[in-house]
Amino acid sequence: MGALKVRVLGTHQAYLPTLAAMQTFTQQRSDEAVDELWVLEHEPVFTLGRNGQMEHLLDPQEIPVVKVDRGGQVTYHGRGQLIIYLLLDVRRRNLGVRELVIKIEQAIIQLLASRNIVAAGDREAPGVYVEGKKIAALGLRVSRGKTYHGLSLNVDMDLEPFKRINPCGYAGLEVSQCRDLGIAETTMELAGELALLLAQGLGYRQIEWLAD
């Protein structure tokens, strides 16, 4: 129960095959299967959650829109954004969804705090914010006590596509990114540190790193 695999999928990952792989992993995993984090960057895509409203897609233009089975509204994924998907057995870990969300937020807040950046979560609108601007988004799906989907952290990306949506369903919500806060590391350089903070916060005692 204390083991965790961190699978580094890398950059330029298409969204739909990754979503299908998460769903298959979750549906087929046994009760003994080791939990995993998947670390990657996606090619540009807007994703719309289960209760997402099309009105929040203002002008997607050439970027594809995918309806997905996570919670939340619309968000954007693209190059220069760190994605960590959490494929966890929360029932086995006796972990509630709200508690998991808080632990994810705290790991991101710790990462930023180590670089002297003050960040905070928001109980009404899950995610992490710096001076009111959203720097990280969260969205999860729980199926039979197993989670998939996860977090996105804006690292060093073109933020323009966020203007084509109401991010997470909030008109006028501004977004930020690590580069604009003086953080020079790339997504994959930050990935290892954030994955370790997540693992520690969730109580995993043994971590296996895998590169696909």
Q: b/e for 34-62, b at 16 or more Cβ within 10 A?
A: bbbbbbbbbebbbbbbeebeeebbeeeee
Task: Take residue 134 and report the two structure tokens written for it.
Answer: 């959203």
DSSP 3-state helix, strand, coil percentages of the chain (rounded to 5)?
Answer: 30, 35, 35
* C-beta separation of 37 from 87 below 8 A: yes
* List 155, 168, 195, 199, catalytic entry: 168
Q: How would you write 126-143 as a 3-class SS string? A: CEEEECCEEEEEEEEEEE
Please confirm, yes or no, whether 168 is among the known catalytic residues: yes
Residues that constitute the known binding site for substrate:
70-77, 137-139, 150-152
* Nearest-angstrom CA–CA distance, 20 and 198: 24
* Active site (catalytic) residues: 168
